[in-house]
Structure formats: structure tokens, C-alpha cells
Amino acid sequence: MNLDKFTGCIYGLAIGDALGMPMETMSRDDIKKKIGLIIPPTFLSPSMNPHIFSSLRHLKPGFWTDDTQLTLATMEAFIESDGSFDMNKIAQKHIEAYQGERRGWGKSTRNACQRLAEGASWKDSGEPNGAGNGIMMKIAPLGLRKSVRQQDPAAFLKECITYARMTHLGTQAIVAGVVHAAAIAFLVNSSPGNIADHSTRDFLGYLRSIALMAEKELPTTENKISEQFNRILSYWRDYIVRQKEDPEIASRFGGGTSYAYHSLGLSYALFAANPTSFSVVWQAACAGGDTDSNASIVGSLYGALNGASFIPKYLLSGLERCGYLEGVAKRFFQACNK
């Protein structure tokens, strides 16, 4: 059962990434005019977006970007260290990824990996004030690993913070990452019906407590992730009353930017409203802004809760290196269970 959820999480993450990739930097209005808001029958090509980053322009439909590249790098590190947490190995895998093809890498991760490649220790490589969603987008493996291990909450928190600080030193980026890893672990061990029926409030409340715990360990910041959970809960309550989507959801959470505070707000509000419907992944892509990372984050949550069997087959068949992803998920699962 858990292997299905591990695979589902990685499939969901890569599919969200590939669905959002062609639309990165577009606004919701542009997406609505050009593509429409109904999920397309196949992956789209980045050639339809004249403003797309040059490192994505040549990609084919169904190809994924940095979100999946760095998640895979993290998983490979755990596989090679037999499931143990080895920052030297994690840093080495990041350097290898940096020296390969970089697809839409964010500034903080790029600068940090450049420092690692020049010989800096992972203890000193983090980007000062890096406050984007670069940790959230690649930390899912730490959550998957926690889901099958008896891990003390303080030890888990410490590992997540250490992992995050290699590339980002901004409190929001780190806290959002810790919360996302904890969410993935929670969802792997939850049943979809349970979350959808009555425990969404518990899920969000638990994540808020994790955010508070992480914030205690880090320098104070404005726009706290723990406070963003109050807004997510308020969106979720409104949604339960209305039972329909709010077309303005993106503007309630900063327009879908890559700022961790906004990215977490939008992704979690969308997912919490409809945790068992794959449509939330497409909705995250359609919100505009950092479309690939937001859809990838939502995809990882959806897949961790529902498992690989609930990922649409027609998308899997068009996904870049789908068999390879399945193989890495399996080897990673085995390493985590050692």
C-alpha cells in the first residue's frame, strides 16, 4: 500500500510539474484566454508561451523541470546511503544535478549549488534570505521516508531544517518546506475518504502546529507560515459552505507567485478544498505565476493521499521517463524500509 503512495506522490509531483511547465509566468487571465480552464487531453507545449524561460523553451510536452529534477536528486541520495540521512551525499547529488541540464532553476538554488560546486560545505552554501518555494518543491522524499520510519518529531524537524538550509536561509522557505514534508508523511498514512469527509480541519491544524514548532527554531520573520494557515482554514471553511470554487483564489494568495508564503497558501487551500479530486492539480497550474511548482506541490499532496492508481493513466502515458520515475520510487521505498 505504501509503495503505491510513494509512487503516487512522485507521479503527482512530476505530472503537476509537466502540466504547469508550459504556462510558467503566464497570468490566470492569459491562461483562461489561451488554453481555457478545462484540463487538456494531452500535455501542452512550451512553444505556446512566448514569455517562457529560455531553459524551458526547447522542452517537449510532458517534460518536467527543476521540481522533479531536484526531488529525484534527493531520492537518489537516500538510495545510495541506504535510507540514512547523509548531507554530504545530498549535496553531491545537488552538484551533479546542477552540472547537468538545469530546467528553470530558481535563483537561490542555483547560487547555492554554484557554491557547493566550487567546494563550499553544505553548512555554508545556503542563499541568505532565500524565501521562495524551492524547498517545498523538492522536500517530499523526506516526508515519504518519515511515513515508514519511527522518527522522533524533533529529529525529523532537525533533518528538514538542515536539508533546507543547504540552499535557503529564509525562514519562510524553510518553514514551508518542513510543513510540506510533514504533510506528505501525514497523507501517506491517511485514508482518502477520511481526509475528505472530516479530518481536513485536523490536517490543517496539525500543519499549523508544525509551522509554529519550526518558527521557534528560526529567526523571526513577517508573514509567518503559521499565520498563513489561518487564511487557508478560512478559505476551506468558505469553500465547505459554498461548495464551489472561488475564481479569485489565486488573488487571495498573492497571485500564485513563487514566494513560499504565497505558494504554500495557494497550494494548500486548493488541495484542502478537494483532496480526492485530481482537478486540483490542474487548478493550481491555471492560477498563473509559478504554475509548474504550484501544480507540482499540489500533485505531490494528491498522490501521497490517493496513491498511484488514482493518477490519470492518459497523463502517465505522456509523462517524460515515467518508467524511470516508477523505478526510483521503488528503490527509494526499499531504501527507506531498510
Which chain residues interact with Mg ion by CB under 5 A? 65-67, 104, 292
Report CA-CA distances (Å) from 273 to 60, 199, 226, 229.
32, 12, 19, 13
**Least gap, CB of 94 to Mg ion (angstroms):** 15
Q: How many CB atoms lie within 10 A of CB 243?
A: 7
Q: State which residue, 12 or 83, has the beta carbon closest to Mg ion.
A: 12
Q: State which residue, 76 or 292, has the beta carbon closest to Mg ion.
A: 292
Q: Are 266 and 256 in contact (CB under 8 A)?
A: yes
**Least gap, CB of 293 to Mg ion (angstroms):** 5
DSSP 233-263: HHHHHHHHHH-S--TTHHHHTGGG-SBHHHH
Q: State which residue, 67 or 127, has the beta carbon closest to Mg ion.
A: 67
4: closest CA among 335, 338, 333?
333
Residue nearest to Mg ion (CB): 65
**Least gap, CB of 290 to Mg ion (angstroms):** 8
Q: State which residue, 127 or 292, has the beta carbon closest to Mg ion.
A: 292
**Least gap, CB of 54 to Mg ion (angstroms):** 14
User: Judging by beta carbons within 10 Å of its beta carbon (0-12, 13-18, 19+), is residue 93 exposed, middle or buried?
Assistant: buried
Q: State which residue, 64 or 203, has the beta carbon closest to Mg ion.
A: 64
**Least gap, CB of 104 to Mg ion (angstroms):** 4
